[in-house]
C-alpha cells in the first residue's frame, strides 16, 4: 500500500495517487453509511441515536464535494422545527466561540446515521419506566456526549506503553475518558522496542498486516501497524526499525537521537494514513476524523492534511486540534532538511523559521531553519494548551518561546483546558504501589506510608519531621537550579527531603553528592521509576514544584489527591490548580489547598516552604484541612473531557482553517 507521494511537481488531479484516494473516499462514504457506528441506545423509554460524527463533520464544512455535503442546513432546519435552538457566538474573525443547544421540553431529538430525523418520541412514551429508572437514565445520558466524533490522537508517547513525562499520562488517559463518553477513539504512537523487559507491554498488540509506503527523506519507507483494543480505545502502534533501539523515545545515554525529525515525520505520515487504511473493528475511521496532535512530534499532521491530502480531495472534512503540552520543544532543524519531510516545495513558508541575529551561532549562520511546531500552529484548525493560565502565557514575550506573536494572531481559536488525572491509577485508597491505603475520611494510612518511605530510603524514621518531596525531570523548566541553590538552607531546618528525577547528569551527580553530605536528611533517586513516584507522592507531607513555567503540571494534582500539600511557583497550570492557603477564611476553618509563591526567587521559595513547614508542625488541624480539601478536589478527566467536547463542536462549526 502506498501513501501519497509528494514530488517537486504536484501531479494533476487524475494522477494515480489521486485515483487511489478517490477510491478510499468512496469506500469510506459507503462504509460510514453502512456501519452506523453511531450506535443506538435506548434507555428509560426514550430513544436516541447518536448522530454519526462523520456525517455531521462532513455536513458542517459545507460546499465540499463529498457525498455527505449539504446535510448541515437540513439538520439545522430540522433541529429548529423540533424546537432546538442552536445559537453560535462568533468573534470578529468569524470563528465560533460559543454554542448554545437548548432542547425543547418533552422531546428528544433523534437523528440517525444517515442524517435523517428518525423519530421524535415524547417523554410520555416512557410510561412503563419507574421514577428511579428515569433518574438513573438521566444520569447515564448526561455522562455520554451528545455528538460523537471519530478522534485520532497522534502522540510520541502514551502510558502505559511509553512514558517519559506528563504527555504520556494525558495521552494514556484522556482518550479513555473520551471513549467512555461515546466517541470512537484511536491513539497513534510509535511501537518502541528497546530490548528490555519493557517491550512486553506491546505483547497484546497484533500486527494488522497493513504496510504503508511513505515517501520522505529521499526514499521510500515502509511502516506497519500494530493494534490493541483496550478500554474502548484503538491503540495503534506504528512500526519501523527506527523505533527499535535502546533508550527512551527521544534519546539514550549519549543524548537525543540524531534522527528524531525522521522518526516523527514517519509517525505523522503514518498517522494520516491510519484512518484511511486501517479497518479497525471492521471499519476505517474515515476522512472526517478529528486529529488531536500533541506537541511538535505530531506537528506535521495538520500540515500534511493541508498540503498533501486536501489538494487531492482527501480529508476535506477532517479537522485538527494542536495540543501544546510544552512550547519549549518545537522540533527545529536546519532549513535544508525541509526537502526530507515529504511536503510540496511551495509549503516551505509554513515551516520557515528564522532565528534572530543574536541567536545565530557564527557570522555565516543565516539563522534559517524549519520549525515543525510553527507549522502546526499555522495550519491547525484550533489550538489548545493544558491549562488556561498557560494559554495566556504563551501569547506573551516571556512565555511564548519566540512564537508569541504567531500564537497571538490565532488567539480566537486558542483555548486552555486543565488536564485531568487517571484517578484509577492515582488513588490512595487502592494504589498498588503503596503498602497502606487511606482516604479523606480515614487518613491513618498516610503516616504509615511516610514511615514506610523513610524505611525504604533508610532515612531516620520520624513521623513528626516534615518530609518534602520533588518528582520530575531534572530540567531548567522544573526550577531544578533553584532547588540546588536553596538546598543548603532548606536542610538547615529540621526537615527531610527526597528527590526523584532523571535528566541532566550534572543534577544527578549533585543529588548523589548532597545525599553523601546530608545522610540523615536527603535522598536523591536518579532515574525514572513509577512505583517510587507513587510512594513519594503518598509518603511526603509537602511536594515542592518551583517550575519556571508549567503548562499544567500533574504532580501537584497527584499530590493533592494523596493529601500531600503542594508548594508551587505561581505559574501556568500550577497557579490555576493550587489554591493559596488562607487560615482565616470560612470563619476560621480555612480555605486553600497549598501555597503558590511568586516571584521565582530563592527568598520567596524558602520563605513559603518555611511557612508550610511551620503549619505542618504547629497547626495540626489547619494541616488536616489543607490535606482534606486537596483530596476532595475533582481532578477526574470527566470535567476536562466535557470541555474538550465543546472545542470539538467549535472546530467542526468553522470550515477547515486551510481548506
Ligand X SMILES: Nc1ncnc2c1ncn2[C@@H]1O[C@H](COP(=O)(O)OP(=O)(O)O[C@H]2O[C@H](CO)[C@@H](O)[C@H](O)[C@H]2O)[C@@H](O)[C@H]1O
Q: List b or e across 325-334, with b for residues whose CB sees 16 or more CB atoms inside 10 angstroms.
A: bbbebbbbbe
Residue 551 lies near ligand X (rule: CB under 6 A): yes
Question: 383 vs 554, which CB is nearer to ligand X?
Answer: 554
Q: How far is the CB of 169 from ligand X (least distance, A)?
A: 5
- What distances in angstroms separate CA 397 from CA 312, 401, 402, one per listed residue? 39, 7, 7
3-state secondary structure 525-573: EECCCHHHHHHHHHHCCEEEECCCCCCCCCHHHHHHHCCCEEEEECCHH
Of 521-540, binders to ligand X (CB under 6 A) are 528-530, 533
Residue 44's SS3 state is coil
CB of 598: closest distance to ligand X in angstroms?
A: 17
Is 201 exposed, middle or buried, given 0-12, 13-18 or 19+ CB atoms closer than 10 A? middle
Q: What is the 3-class SS of 599-611, one letter each residue?
A: CCCHHHHHHHHHH
**β partners of residue 497:** 468, 522
Range 493-512, binding ligand X (CB under 6 A): 500-502
What cell does 594 get?
Answer: 497549598
Q: Which stretch binds ligand X (CB under 6 A): 42-50, 194-202, 549-557, 620-628?
A: 549-557
Site string for ligand X, 431-470 (x = CB under 6 A): ----------------------------------------
CB 132 to ligand X: min, Å: 40
CB of 219 to ligand X, least distance (A): 34
- Minimal CB distance to ligand X: which residue? 165
Q: Least distance (Å) from ligand X to the CB of residue 207?
A: 30
How many residues sit in the footprint of ligand X (CB under 6 A)? 26
Task: Report residue 204: phi and psi, to 5°.
Answer: -85, -5
- Could you give the string, one character per residue 565-584, with x where binding to ligand X holds by CB under 6 A and - elsewhere? --------x-----------
Cα–Cα distances in angstroms (integers) from residue 554 to residues 148, 177, 484, 537, 572, in the given order: 27, 17, 22, 11, 12
Stretch that binds ligand X, among 44-52, 146-154, 553-561, 641-649 (CB under 6 A): 553-561
* 388 CB-near residues (< 8 Å, 6+ apart): 415, 416, 417, 418, 576
Burial 428-455 (b: 16+ CB within 10 A, else e): beebeebebbbbbeeeebbebbbbbbbe
Phi, psi dihedrals of residue 473, rounded to the nearest 5°: -65, 140
Is residue 329 near ligand X by the rule CB under 6 A? no
CB of 479 to ligand X, least distance (A): 12
- Give the burial class of 339: count Cβ atoms within 10 A of its Cβ; 0-12 exposed, 13-18 middle, 19 or more buried: middle
Task: By CB under 6 A, tell whether 550 contacts ligand X.
Answer: yes
Q: Could you count the other beta carbons within 10 Å of the beta carbon of residue 354?
A: 13
Q: Which of 58, 165, 375, 445 binds ligand X (CB under 6 A)?
A: 165
x/- map, 418-437, ligand X, by CB under 6 A: -x------------------
- Supply the minimum distance, in Å, between the C-beta of residue 411 and ligand X: 20
Segment near ligand X (CB under 6 A), from 20-28, 96-104, 114-122, 551-559? 551-559
Between 182 and 594, name the residue whose CB sits nearer to ligand X: 594
DSSP assigned state of 594? B
CB of 385 to ligand X, least distance (A): 9
Residues 351-410 binding ligand X (CB under 6 A) are 386
Q: Answer yes or no: are the C-beta atoms of 107 and 120 closer than 8 Å.
A: yes
Q: How far is the CB of 545 from ligand X (least distance, A)?
A: 8
Residue 187 in the binding site for ligand X (CB under 6 A): no
Given candidates 25, 126, 167, 413, which one binds ligand X under the rule CB under 6 A?
167
Is residue 472 near ligand X by the rule CB under 6 A? yes
Least CB distance to ligand X at residue 535 (A): 11
In the complex, the residues that contact ligand X under the rule CB under 6 A are 165-167, 169-170, 325-326, 386, 419, 471-473, 500-502, 528-530, 533, 550-555, 573
Amino acid at each position: 500500500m502506498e501513501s501519497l507521494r509528494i514530488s517537486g511537481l504536484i501531479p494533476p488531479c487524475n494522477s494515480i495517487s489521486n485515483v487511489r484516494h478517490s477510491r478510499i473516499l468512496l469506500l469510506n462514504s459507503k462504509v460510514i453509511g453502512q456501519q452506523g457506528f453511531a450506535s443506538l441506545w435506548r434507555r428509560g423509554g426514550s430513544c436516541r441515536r447518536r448522530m454519526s460524527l462523520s456525517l455531521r463533520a462532513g455536513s458542517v464544512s459545507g460546499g465540499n464535494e463529498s457525498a455527505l455535503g449539504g446535510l448541515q442546513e437540513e439538520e439545522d432546519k430540522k433541529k429548529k422545527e423540533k424546537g432546538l435552538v442552536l445559537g453560535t457566538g462568533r468573534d470578529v474573525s468569524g470563528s465560533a466561540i460559543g454554542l448554545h443547544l437548548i432542547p425543547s421540553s418533552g422531546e428528544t431529538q433523534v437523528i440517525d446515521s444517515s442524517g435523517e430525523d428518525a423519530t421524535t418520541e415524547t417523554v410520555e412514551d416512557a410510561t412503563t419506566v419507574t421514577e428511579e429508572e428515569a433518574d438513573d437514565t438521566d444520569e447515564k445520558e448526561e455522562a455520554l456526549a451528545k455528538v460523537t466524533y471519530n478522534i485520532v490522537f497522534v502522540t510520541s508517547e502514551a502510558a502505559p506503553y511509553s512514558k517519559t513525562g506528563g504527555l504520556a499520562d494525558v495521552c494514556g488517559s484522556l482518550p479513555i475518558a473520551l471513549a467512555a463518553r461515546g466517541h470512537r477513539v484511536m491513539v497513534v504512537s510509535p511501537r518502541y522496542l528497546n530490548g528490555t523487559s519493557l517491550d512486553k507491554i506491546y505483547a497484546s498488540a497484533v500486527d494488522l498486516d497493513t504496510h504503508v509506503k511513505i515517501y520522505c527523506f529521499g526514499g521510500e519507507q515502509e511502516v506497519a501497524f500494530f493494534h490493541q483494543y483496550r478500554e474502548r480505545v484503538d491503540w495503534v502502534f506504528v512500526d519501523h526499525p527506527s523505533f527499535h533501539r535502546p533508550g527512551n523515545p527521544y534519546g539514550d545515554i549519549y543524548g537525543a537521537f540524531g534522527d528524531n525529525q525522521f522518526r516523527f515525520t514517519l509517525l505523522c505520515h503514518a498517522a494520516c494514513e491510519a484512518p484511511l487504511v486501517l479497518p479497525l473493528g471492521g471499519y476505517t475511521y474515515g476522512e472526517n476524523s478529528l486529529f488531536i496532535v500533541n506537541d511538535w512530534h505530531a506537528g506535521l499532521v495538520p500540515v500534511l492534511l493541508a498540503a498533501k491530502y486536501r489538494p487531492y480531495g482527501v480529508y476535506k472534512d477532517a479537522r485538527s486540534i494542536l495540543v501544546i503540552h510544552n512550547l519549549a520543544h518545537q522540533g527545529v532543524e536546519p532549513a535544508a532538511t525541509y526537502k526530507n519531510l515529504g511536503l510540496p516545495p511551495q509549503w516551505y513558508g509554513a515551516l520557515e523559521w528564522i532565528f534572530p541575529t543574536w541567536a545565530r551561532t557564527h557570522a555565516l549562520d543565516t539563522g534559517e531553519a524549519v520549525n515543525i511546531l510553527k507549522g502546526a500552529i499555522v495550519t491547525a484548525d484550533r489550538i489548545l494548551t493544558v491549562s488556561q493560565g498557560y494559554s495566556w502565557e504563551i501569547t506573551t514575550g516571556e512565555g511564548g518561546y519566540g512564537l508569541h506573536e504567531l500564537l497571538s494572531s490565532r488567539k480566537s481559536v486558542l483555548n486552555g483546558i486543565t488536564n485531568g488525572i487517571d484517578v484509577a491509577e492515582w488513588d490512595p485508597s487502592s494504589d498498588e504501589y503503596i503498602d497502606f491505603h487511606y482516604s479523606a475520611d480515614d487518613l491513618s494510612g498516610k503516616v504509615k506510608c511516610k514511615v514506610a518511605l523513610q524505611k525504604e530510603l533508610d532515612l531516620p524514621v520520624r513521623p513528626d519531621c516534615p518530609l518534602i518531596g520533588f518528582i520530575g525531570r531534572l530540567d531548567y523548566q522544573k526550577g531544578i537550579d533553584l532547588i540546588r541553590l536553596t538546598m543548603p538552607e532548606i536542610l538547615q531546618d529540621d526537615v527531610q527531603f527526597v528527590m526523584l528525577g532523571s535528566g541532566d547528569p550534572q543534577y544527578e551527580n549533585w543529588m548523589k553528592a548532597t545525599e553523601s553530605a546530608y545522610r540523615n536528611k536527603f535522598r536523591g533517586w536518579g532515574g525514572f521509576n513509577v512505583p517510587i513516584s507513587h510512594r513519594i507522592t503518598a509518603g511526603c507531607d509537602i511536594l515542592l514544584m518551583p517550575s519556571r513555567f508549567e503548562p499544567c503540571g500533574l504532580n501537584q494534582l497527584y499530590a493533592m489527591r494523596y493529601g500531600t500539600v503542594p508548594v508551587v511557583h505561581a505559574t501556568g497550570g500550577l497557579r490555576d490548580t493550587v489554591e493559596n492557603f488562607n487560615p482565616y477564611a470560612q470563619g476560621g476553618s480555612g480555605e486553600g489547598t497549598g501555597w503558590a509563591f511568586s516571584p521565582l526567587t530563592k527568598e520567596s521559595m524558602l520563605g513559603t516552604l518555611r511557612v508550610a513547614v511551620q503549619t505542618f508542625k504547629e497547626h495540626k488541624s489547619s494541616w488536616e484541612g489543607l490535606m482534606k480539601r486537596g483530596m476532595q478536589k475533582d481532578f477526574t478527566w470527566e470535567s476536562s473531557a466535557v470541555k474538550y467536547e465543546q472545542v470539538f463542536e467549535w472546530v467542526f462549526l468553522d470550515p477547515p482553517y486551510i481548506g
